[in-house]
């Protein structure tokens, strides 16, 4: 066979093969079930620890006098003051004002033949209250969901 005839024979065979080939098509995927369910559960736990440290300071004093059949023997019933100690806490400085004990008011009984009552109270400056609270809180969250489906 010469080249021409070989080319025609080859073209004929290729034509026949091409005619026998089927084009490819995709097949859709269809789920094959009738029913089902999906359950999901999520748990979250967090722990918070707190320390609350509270300090209350009196930076001055409280002085009071009460009674019966008494009198002030000095010039004034208001006591003299003097600067006391200083305290610095977290960058805040407080200077305490206190009673001048050398110049506080003097008291005496008015009539020695009668009864008397006398109370003198001094609350000095300084730490008045210190509260510490240690608290731990646990927070737990549970989420559970179920989905039911059918065809």
Tokens of 110: 């008015």
Rounded distance, CA 130 to CA 57, Å?
A: 9
The first and second tokens of residue 135, run together, are 């608290």
CA distance 122 to 127: 15
Q: What is the pLDDT of residue 94?
A: 78
**Residues comprising the chain, all counted:** 151
Cut 0.85: pTM above it = no
pLDDT tens by residue, 114-139: 999 999 998 888 888 999 999 999 99
Residue 3: both structure tokens together: 């080249």
* pLDDT score of 1 more than 60: no
Q: What is the pLDDT of residues 35-44, one digit of tens each?
A: 788 889 999 9
77-114: string of b/e by CB count within 10 Å (b at 16+)?
eebeeeebeebeeeeeeeebebbeeeebbebeeeeeee
Give the model confidence (pLDDT) of 60-117 as tens digits: 888 889 999 999 887 777 778 887 777 787 888 878 888 887 888 888 999 999 999 9
């Amino acid at each position: 066979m010469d080249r021409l005839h070989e080319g025609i024979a080859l073209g004929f065979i290729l034509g026949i093969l091409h005619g026998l080939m089927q084009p490819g098509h995709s097949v859709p995927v269809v789920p094959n079930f009738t029913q089902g369910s999906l359950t999901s559960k999520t748990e979250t736990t967090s722990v918070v620890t707190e320390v609350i440290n509270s300090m209350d300071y009196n930076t001055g004093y409280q002085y009071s006098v009460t009674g019966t059949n008494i009198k002030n023997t000095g010039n004034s019933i208001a006591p003299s003051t003097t600067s006391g100690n200083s305290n610095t806490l977290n960058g805040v400085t407080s200077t305490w004002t206190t009673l001048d004990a050398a110049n506080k008011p003097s008291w005496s009984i008015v009539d020695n033949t009668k009864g008397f009552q006398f109370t003198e109270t001094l609350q000095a400056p300084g730490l008045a209250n210190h509260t510490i609270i240690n608290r731990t809180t646990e927070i737990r969250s549970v989420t559970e969901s179920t989905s039911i489906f059918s065809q």
